[in-house]
Amino acid sequence: MVSSTQYGPHTWELLLTVDHQLEGVKNEFKLPVTGDLHVGGLMLKLVEEIKIAQDWSDYAFWWEQKKCWLLKTHWTLDKCGVQADAKLIFTTQHKMLRLRLPNMKTVRLKVSFSSMVFRAVSDICKMLNIRRSEELSLLKQSEGTLKKKKKKDKNSKEPATEDILNLSNSPVSSGLPANPGLYSKTMTPTYDPVSGSPASSTITWFSDGSLNEQNCSILALSHPTCSPEMLAEMYQPRTLADKAKLNAGWLDSSRSLMEQGVLEEDQLLLRFKYYTFFDLNPKYHVSKLSLSSETQDSTCESEVDEVEAALSNLEVTLEGGSKSNILEDITDIPKLADYLKLVRPKKLALKAIKTYWFVFRDTSISYFKSKESAQGEPVEKLNLKGCEVVPDVNVAAKKFGIKLLIPVADGMNEVYLRCDNEDQYARWMAACVLASKGRTMADSSYQPEVQKILSFLQMKNWTMCSQAASEPENVDMKPECFVSPRYTKKFKSKQLTARILEAHQNVSQMSLVEAKLRFIQAWQSLPEFGLSYYIVRFKGSKKDDVLGVSYNRLIRIDMATGDPITTWRFSNMKQWNVNWEIRQVAIEFDQNVSIAFTCLSADCKIIHEYIGGYIFLSTRSKDHNETLDEELFHKLTGGQE
């Protein structure tokens, strides 16, 4: 034992643990230190004491009691607050992590456990050739879903073997070299060495070798559907409360994996967190790839113009993004005028249906008793800004309805409009959707919205050849892999197969990219698209409600019925803040509207990050040269705890 006089008057012993796998080498060291010794000096002193020649550059100190990294090597021990009772572990910053991808494939790769999750996800996406990493995040499976899986595993005879793609030899971090990805910041694509065509951005999802050994020709075929056994393993929420459980496990983007209790070899889910996709436009992708392709010697001027036009369309479609200065947007605003049926729900489930002359101008609908009386005062004028627009369509029954939930002081005012045909429905539905976002029909996104609705109706229009309809039993298909469980209980297998074949006829002549884009557009047209649910208690309320968070609005939903009660648009939001002591989120909107709630199904930091994250994503623009303002993201989403 060395006496204190040999250390000096201000010297004390610090216990350091080295996390290594070397046999015959001790892993605990007691070093004499002083409070003015900086962290970097402590690392140097420890390495000299270990006396092993190896690369220690990836090692850093982890403070076990405080659950934090000591990464600022120029800070002194006094400034860090390290005292003699501190337990510091000298361990690697990059560790192995298992990631479950959306297609149920699991990859095993080395990830930075010391970087903020936002940066770690960015590095992971570079490794996996996934673009727009800011739209994804890491999700920890909630305890409720894991318990249900364990019960199922007890009843099963043989547990399903997990297919893991090992990418352990390809480390990802901000400090280590990584695969630049299909679309890196320099926009350098990866090409098939045989055909010269761009490789798919999901190349690692379908194969078993390392990235540099992939056979790109396998990407000509789409990924096979999940087996019924694999689908049975997936957690399937039945109620809004079940859906709220899924969103409780999102990791804090402003903290590291280690700080949030994630250990080496743990399994996390890589999922899309924010449902605001920046550039889902095949024309944009094709043009950009053709411009950057090494097989082209020159770029014609028309291609450049085409790319600029596509980028302009993308900018307009961004919710909350910078508005276009296209000439059509500053001319006279067009209007719609036609006879429609107005349906108002009444008590005892009765409905009053009357035909009126409707005029759609700006973001409002006015209706009159007849076309001749349109010059006078309307029966009623409905302002659609901030309302909910829900399709009520049955193509087979020739029913084309639009359900409008218009915010009023005491809740939502329900109004139903019924159109006569598909064309009329598409024009009025597109106008209602834009008006709910504060846009008019003069906006350049109006016509594309009309076409998208018509395409969606065409997919629902079951037209098929008689041969496919008469012989569904000859098709080798497992319909339960394509539809939700509620339909497998409602219909027989042959009926489902016939309906699937009918739907396939509408997309069978499309290219793979076009068919996938059509599928995404149909998904985006669903009323509940992009909603993340949380169980909350609003200030002044005596019962729990469900809060739906979307890319452009918040929705208060009745937990018992699932009906929306009130909608608040982000575009009308003035400010929001979090009281971290009582874990309460408070938001102020225009017209002196304010709300406050506590989150019961998850930490309030998750909802706070959702709101700030969606606002951050709305600032993206082609002018930013595809670089992300990470500092702005953390300002909008970081906590003040």
Are 403 and 414 in contact, with CB atoms under 8 Å apart?
yes
Name which CATH class applies to 11-92. alpha beta
- Residues of the chain with pLDDT below 50 are 1-5, 147-160, 171-222, 283-330, 347-349, 463-470
> What are the residue ranges spanned by the domains of the chain?
11-92, 335-460, 479-519, 532-637
Q: Look-up: residue for tokens 């996800």?
A: 121
Smallest CA-to-CA distance from 433 within 461, 410, 402, 454 is with 402
According to the model, what pLDDT value does residue 516 have? 82
Q: Which fold has domain 335-460?
A: PH-domain like (2.30.29)
Question: How far apart, in whole angstroms, are the C-alpha atoms of residue 58 and residue 512?
Answer: 43
Which pLDDT value is given to residue 281?
Answer: 60
Cα–Cα distance for residue pair 115/634, rounded to 1 Å: 13
The C-alpha atoms of residue 516 and residue 502 are separated, in whole angstroms, by: 17
CATH number of 532-637: 2.30.29.30
Cα–Cα nearest to 612, from 113, 194, 252, 73: 252
Pairing of strands 106-112, 59-63: unpaired
pTM higher than 0.75 for the full model? no
* Amino acid letter, 560: A
Confidence (pLDDT) at 97: 95
**Does 335-460 match 11-92 at the fold level?**
no
Please give the pLDDT value at position 368.
93
| pLDDT value for 496 | 85
* pLDDT value of position 60: 95
583 Ramachandran zone, left/alpha/beta (phi>0; psi -120 to 50): left
Contact between residue 139 and residue 248 where contact means Cβ atoms under 8 Å apart: no
